[in-house]
Amino acid sequence: MESTTFVLFGATGDLAKRKIYPALYNLFVDQKLPPSFSLIGLGRRELTDESFRANVEQSIDMFSRRKAKNPELMENFLRKFRYSVLNIDRKEDYQKLLRLIEHREEELRLSPNRMFYLSVGPEFFGTIADNIEESGLGSANGWKRLVIEKPFGHDLQSARDLNQKLSKAFAEHEIFRIDHYLGKPMVQKLEALLQSNPVLRAIWANDYIANVQITANETVGVEERAGYYDHTGALRDMFQNHMLQLLMMLTMHLPNKSNSEMVRFKKKMVLENLETLQKQDVSANVIRGQYKAGTIAGKPVVGYTSEPGIASSSLNETFITARMQIDDFFWRGVPIYIRTGKRMQEKSTRIVIEFKEPFKKVSQANDDGQVPNLLVFEISPNERISLQLNTRDPQHSGKFKPIQIDFHDSHEDVPEAYENLIYDAFQGDPTFFAHWDEVELAWSWVHPILEAFQENLVPLHLYAAGTNGPAESDALLAENGHHWWFDS
C-alpha cells in the first residue's frame, strides 16, 4: 500500500469518534494501514496535538471493537496524529495546512498521496473542495482522493449541484462516496456469493423467485437528530441510499470475471431497469408511516411528534414500504418489497428471497406442512445465511417439515463497515462506494415519491412504536398473496 496522508475534516466530530478512529486503530492492529502514514485532524476548536491524541485514545476505548490494551501499540498509533485548526472558509488555514502536510511528508519521507476525508455537513463539501483545489493541496505529485459521507444531496437537483461543485476539484475516480451499508461484511459477501455459486446463479431469476423482501428495521427513534431527520425522513435517510444499494447488490447479475467497473456497471443497470413510479401511482405502491407512542423492549416511548425538536404537526415519515419491479429479463414479474422504519419491534437488516412452489398442487391440503423455500441473508445485528427446505417429519407420516440450513461466521472478530471501507479507500478500490451514476439514478427514482409525499398524495399511517409498522404495509404484500417473513 502506498504511503498516505489522511486529512480529516471534522476531526472532533461524532462520526470521527465513533467510527473513524476505531476503524483506523483496528486497521493499524491488523497491519492494514499504509506502512507510512500520517493523519492530520482538522477542526474549528483550538487543540494541542496532545489533547487531540488523548481524545482519539478515549474514543477508541469507548467505541472500538478492540480495546486499547497495549500502551506501546497505542503510542505507536497516536504518534502518526497531528491537529490543526481550520476554519472552512478561511483561505490562510488551507495554506497553513499545506505547510503542515508537506512538513510531515518530508519528516516521514512520504510520497505526496493525500486522502481528504470530509466528516462534516454536506453544506461544506463544495467550499472545502474548492479550497483544496485553490490552495494547491491536491496538486502534488501523488494521488488525491476525496472521501465523503451521505447525505449526497437532498433531492435530484441539489445532488446534481453538489456533484458539479465537487467535480471541479476531483475527477469521478477520485471521489469515494461512503454508503456504510456497502461496507457491511454480509453485503460485501453478497457479491462473491452470487458470482461464484452456480447453484445460486441458476435460480437467480423470475422462473424460480416468487418475491424479494429487503428490510432494515431499527428500534431507535429520531434520537438527538430532530433538526436533520425532520426534513429528511426515511425515504431520504435510508431508502434512497442504503436500501437501493442493497437492492443493487442483490439483483445485479455479474459475469464470471468481474472487477469494480463491472460491478458498478451492473448496479447501474439495475437502477436503469427499475420501473419508474408515476406520481399518481405512488400511493398504490408505497406506504408511508410515522410512529406514535408505544413500547420498545418493555419500555414506553413517545410518538414521533412528541420527540424533542419535532413539530407536533410534522408529517415526516419514519417508515416506508415500497413495492417495486425490475423490468429486465431476469426479474420481470417478481415483486420486490423494501421496508425500513424507526421504532420498530426489532433491530434487523435482512433480505429474504422467497421461491416459487411450482410442484405444490392447488388441491393439496394447506396443512401438509410444506413451506416455500426461503433463502435469508441476515445482515445485522448478526450475520447469517440460511436456507429453508422441506423434509419429511418422521413423527407424522405424510407431513412435511421445514428445516433450516444455517451458516454464521463463528469468527467473532469481524471488521466493521468503516474498517472495510477506509481500507478500500487506501487501496483506491471503488467497488463498495457509490458511483455518481448510482446516486443520480437513485434520486431520479425516488423523485416522484418525494413529490407525492410533499403534495400529500399518500396517506401517512401511524403505527405504534415497537410494532412492525402500519397494517397497510402488510396489506400491500397481501395484494400479491405474499406476507413479510419473520415478523413476530
CB of residue 453 to ligand BG6, shortest distance in Å: 17
SS3 237: helix
What's the min distance (Å) between Cβ of 312 and ligand BG6?
22
Catalytic residue among 103, 242, 408, 482: 242
- The residue (of 131 and 240) whose beta carbon lies closer to ligand BG6 is 240
Q: Which residues are at the interface with ligand BG6 (CB under 6 A)? A: 216, 218, 237-238, 349, 380
Residue whose entry in the numeric block shows the C-alpha cell 431499527: 218
User: Residue 447's Cα: distance from chain center in Å?
Assistant: 20
Shortest Cβ 158–ligand BG6 spacing (Å): 17
- Is 342 known to sit in a ligand binding site? yes
Does the annotation place 12 within a ligand binding site? yes
Backbone angles phi, psi at 89, to 5 degrees: -90, -10
C-alpha 152/C-alpha 481 separation (Å) is: 37
**For ligand BG6, the closer CB: 320 or 334:** 320
Least separation in angstroms between residue 313's CB and ligand BG6 is 22
CA distance 166 to 133: 10
Residue 437 makes CB contacts below 8 A (sequence gap 6+) with 264, 268
Select the residue whose beta carbon is closest to ligand BG6 and give its number.
237
Q: Which is nearer to ligand BG6, 52 or 125 (CB)?
A: 125
Ligand-binding annotation for 303, yes or no, is no
Please report how close the Cβ of residue 240 comes to ligand BG6 at its closest, in angstroms: 11
| CA distance readout (Å), 61 to 2, 18, 74, 102, 392 | 28, 10, 11, 31, 51
Rounded to 5 degrees, what angle do the CA atoms 340, 343, 345 make? 85
418 vs 348: CA distance, rounded Å: 19
Any binding-site annotation on 104? no
> Does 103 qualify as catalytic in the annotation?
no
CB-nearer residue toward ligand BG6: 83 or 181: 181
**According to the annotation, is 14 in a ligand binding site?**
yes
360 annotated ligand-binding residue: no
Cα–Cα distance, 467 to 474 (Å, whole number): 12
The residues, any chain, with a CB within 8 Å of residue 363's CB and separated by 6 or more, are: none
CB 280 within 8 A of CB 314: no
Please, which residue, 84 or 240, has the CB nearer to ligand BG6?
Answer: 240
Across 130-148, b (16+ Cβ under 10 Å) vs e yields bbbbebebbebeebbbbbb
Residues belonging to the binding site for NADP(+) are 10-17, 44, 150
Residues belonging to the binding site for substrate are 180, 184, 218, 237, 342, 347
Catalytically annotated residues: 242
